[in-house]
Amino acid sequence: MFIDMKYVKEIMLEILNIPSPAGDTFESIERLRKEFESMDIKVSDTNKGAIFGTIKGENNEKQKMITAHVDTLGAMVKEIKSNGRLKLSNIGGIAWNSLEGENIVIKTIRGKKYTGVILPTKASLHVHSDEVREMPRTEETMEVRIDEVVYTKEDTLKLGIGVGDFVSFYTRSIITESGYIKSRHIDDKACVAVLFGVCKYLKDNNIKPKFTTHFFISNYEELGHGVSGIPEKTTELLALDIGTVGEGHTSDEHSVCICAKDSRTPYDFGFRKKLVELAEAANINYKVDVHYRYGSDASLAVMQGVDVNFACIGPGVDATHHYERTHINSLENNIKLIIEYLTK
């Protein structure tokens, strides 16, 4: 089985470089619409701004859906302070210390972009001495220093920056010679790349999946309501989302991580067992894990009353929701398992 990993890397890096904090995903969704279309895959829209590409299968009566989310963590301007700096409100599960010193882009309502950096209100050791080390990093103690000449609230307002503007973080995306991918938002853009890697494999090899399959790009997963507007005949929902690497977890950066349970619900046993059996039969490195503080498009959809069978797999990612890392062979193992799932 030849997987075009060069393509997977390219599409991943490209979408990592299109900011898409949850609530402002239009640009990345439009880019991915083009990607489906370039493969002659029919695209449908949901009212909420998500899209899905559909590949017809041998059986059109029972359909499958595979999701990956393009929305990421981010922030929104909450307040313009009297010194012209910005107070932020988080979008998604952020630990503020993970953002200290990070460059950001502020996008105004008219689409103008400004850069800045997230800093604690007391950043300079020379000025504030030990308080810099001891101060907790919270929404209250972190602010944005804008890269423009601003000293007052009026200066900032004159730039066109206002409450409600979206803020995205630099991703610092790097693929090392050893195959590691380092970036913010590997969650879940690596999985979006996996999803397109699967589509490309099916198209390049002229393979029809057993069942009609919808490839869903969700746009509000980080807020817990990524999947809606599922086509009626969908019976199975497979979410592609990160496996969490760390103490007490089995996930690693090289395997496909099959989630048995997250903090909302166990996943369907039969579905999970089938994925394990497919991985074993095809000699694909896999790990089964229980994620501690976690929900996916699949677990959250069923919590919202969607009647589908559900499972979740993904690449193992270190330092999730921080400066994340995984390995390229983890992506390849995911693609292989999904192809087995769709064709066996």
The percent helix, strand, coil of the chain (3-state, each to 5) is 30, 30, 40
- Does the annotation count 221 as an active-site position? yes
* From 221, 222, 324, 340, active-site residue: 221
Residue placing its CB nearer to Zn ion in the complex, 88 or 317 = 317
- Mention every residue, 6+ apart, whose C-beta is less than 8 A from residue 335: 3, 8, 194, 197, 198, 201
DSSP 44-94: EE-TTS-EEEEE--SEEEEEEEEEEE--B-EEEEEEE-TTS-EEEEEESS-
Window 222-261: contact mask with Zn ion (x via CB under 5 A) = -------------------x--------------------
Report the residue from 24, 71, 187, 252 that binds Zn ion according to the rule CB under 5 A: 187
d(CA 183, CA 176): 11
Both tokens assigned to 121: 């209100």
Both tokens assigned to 143: 């602010």
d(CA 28, CA 19): 7
Residue 55 phi, psi (nearest 5): -110, 125
Stretch of 16-24, 184-192, 201-209, 276-284 contacting Zn ion, by CB under 5 A: 184-192
Report the residue from 24, 188, 297, 318 that binds Zn ion according to the rule CB under 5 A: 188
Residue placing its CB nearer to Zn ion in the complex, 53 or 243 = 243
Residue placing its CB nearer to Zn ion in the complex, 241 or 332 = 241
CB of 332 to Zn ion, least distance (A): 19
Residue showing tokens 């489906």: 36
Stretch of 102-110, 180-188, 271-279, 283-291 contacting Zn ion, by CB under 5 A: 180-188
**Rule CB under 5 A: is residue 262 a binding residue for Zn ion?**
no
CB of 112 to Zn ion, least distance (A): 29
- Binding positions for Zn ion, 147-176, rule CB under 5 A: none
- Mention every residue, 6+ apart, whose C-beta is less than 8 A from residue 271: 236, 309, 310, 311
**Rule CB under 5 A: is residue 324 a binding residue for Zn ion?**
no
**Rule CB under 5 A: is residue 318 a binding residue for Zn ion?**
no
CB of 85 to Zn ion, least distance (A): 30
**Rule CB under 5 A: is residue 24 a binding residue for Zn ion?**
no
Known catalytic residues are 221
Interface ranges with Zn ion (CB under 5 A): 187-188, 241
